[in-house]
Structure 1
């Protein structure tokens, strides 16, 4: 745990784990495991790129991962446009 990428990607991954556990206990919504694996893989790749000095790519991947989680896994209900 030496870089900011370690902490940020760990926080995102922990959020994914909590979301997965919450959804696995719920009867309402069942998500595909592929979506969680994709989010976890994006965390790992962003962390690797950040630790290797590719700051711009790592930052872009972190933002893309957050957008992916919000749009695909939908941890919160986003308001719809009317």
Structure 2
């Protein structure tokens, strides 16, 4: 746990784990396991690239991963908030 990429990707991954566990207890969501796997894989790839010095690409992957999580897994119901 030496770089900012370690901490940021770990926080995103922990959020994915909490979201998965919360939804696995309820009956209202039928998310695909592949969506969670993709989010976790992108976290790992962004962390690796960030640790190797590819800061721009790692940052873009982190932002894209957050957008993917918001649009595909929908942890927040944005329509209801409007």
* TM-score, scaled to structure 2: 0.95
Aligned to 1:66: 66
CA distance in 1, matches of 2:7, 2:34: 24
Shift of 1:23: 0.4
Query: Alpha-carbon deviation of 1:30?
Result: 1.5
Partners of 2:25 and 2:55 lie apart in 1 by 37
Could you say which structure has the higher helix fraction?
A: 2
Shift of 1:15: 0.1
Report the TM-score when normalising by structure 1: 0.95
Alignment of 1:1-82 (within 5 A): 1-79=1-79
Figure out how many residues of one structure are paired with residues of the other and give that number.
Answer: 80
Whole-Å Cα distance in 2 between the matches of residues 30 and 79 of structure 1? 19
Q: Which runs of 4+ in 1 moved over 3 A?
A: none
| Counterpart Cα distance in 2 of 1:68 and 1:53 | 24
Query: Matched residues in 1 for 2:2 and 2:18: separation?
Result: 24
Structure 1 CA distance, aligned partners of 2:30 and 2:23? 7
